[in-house]
Amino acid sequence: MATEHLLEIKNLWVKYGPVEAVKGTDFWIDRGEIVSLLGSNGAGKSSTLRAISALVKSEGKIVFNGRDISEYPAYKIPFLGLSMCPEGRGIFSDLTVEENLALGAYTVRRNRKKIRENFEKVYSLFENLADKKSQLAGTLSGGEQQMLSIGRALMSEPKLLMLDEPSLGLSPKLVDMIFNILKEINRNGTTIFLVEQNAAMALALSHRLYVMQTGKIITFGTPKEIDLNTLKKKYFGGV
């Protein structure tokens, strides 16, 4: 049990009709790590995350916490301790902040005590949200919505938290804040799988990184092993 990976992906394929978005990827994530998946637009990063969460159909093997979840329907996966903040945040805009967070705890809804504790944890992590409990989520600022999305994912105390471009559209200051919070969440024992275009931040935060291009993992390693400048030139067209 202890030696196996928390998440292991083998020969993952995602196809949208004739479009092959992910083409036979293999990778793994160990307990306690922060792992980033980098790649340019259209590389297949979101498709990979969505396949793991079963939001899209995929072929291949997905093993989470010792269990083969390749055939699981999407709604069963969070019960195993795997949460995701989707691209575009995926908040419930016509529900209040508090209701959004409560839904984050749907998998542990019978445990009132735990829910109360997690509300406190999330509100202390994101003080902005604490002041806006009864505000409709759709009226929050972009940064606050991102915090809500992360906070909501934490309400179920996941073993693995997957985030799809949490820095997108945020000011540098907010990006800093989100990344510090991710560090703290990780220190408290949550494994993190991060999809990012912001390569500098990902390098600063991650224990390991994978780089994806046109549906395949082309290189991986620790931040030291992966040189940002070559990475930029080679795969991001010098962005």
List residues near Mg ion by CB under 5 A: 46, 87
The single residue listed with the structure tokens 């019978």 is 110
Between 156 and 217, CB nearer to other proteins:
156
| Closest distance to ligand ATP from the beta carbon of 3 (Å) | 31
93 binds other proteins (CB under 8 A): yes
φ, ψ for residue 137, nearest 5 deg: -60, -35
Q: Is 16 in the site for ligand ATP (CB under 6 A)?
A: yes
187-216 residues near ligand ATP, rule: CB under 6 A: 197
Question: CB-side exposure of 201: number of CA atoms within 13 Å?
Answer: 22
The CA distance from 194 to 48, in Å, is 11
Among the residue ranges 13-21, 60-68, 99-107, 175-183, the one whose residues contact other proteins (CB under 8 A): 99-107
What region does 135 belong to: left with phi over 0, alpha with psi -120 to 50, or beta? beta
In this chain, which stretch among 63-71, 75-83, 173-181, 201-209 interacts with other proteins, using CB under 8 A? 75-83
The reply on whether position 81 binds ligand ATP by CB under 6 A is no
Show Cβ contacts of residue 179 under 8 Å, excluding neighbours closer than 6 positions.
167, 201, 204, 205
Separation CA 206–CA 232 (nearest Å): 17
Q: Of these partners, Mg ion, other proteins, ligand ATP, none, which one is at the site of residue 156 (CB under 5 to 8 Å by kind)?
A: other proteins
25 binds ligand ATP (CB under 6 A): no
When asked if residue 86 is in the footprint of other proteins (CB under 8 A), the reply is yes
Geometric angle at alpha carbon 169, from 163 and 171, rounded to 5° = 105
How many chain residues are in contact with other proteins, going by CB under 8 A? 30
- Taking the chain, what is the end-to-end CA distance rounded to the nearest angstrom? 42
Contact (Cβ atoms closer than 8 angstroms) between residue 25 and residue 212: yes
- For other proteins, the binding residue among 66, 88, 142, 169 (CB under 8 A) is 88
Q: Which of 20, 31, 61, 95 binds other proteins (CB under 8 A)?
A: 95
> For the chain, how big is the Rg over CA atoms in Å?
17
Q: Can you give the binding site for ligand ATP, defined by CB under 6 A?
A: 16, 19, 21, 39, 41-47, 87, 197
Binding stretches for other proteins (CB under 8 A): 53-55, 73-79, 83-84, 86, 88, 90-95, 99, 102-104, 106-107, 109, 138, 152, 156
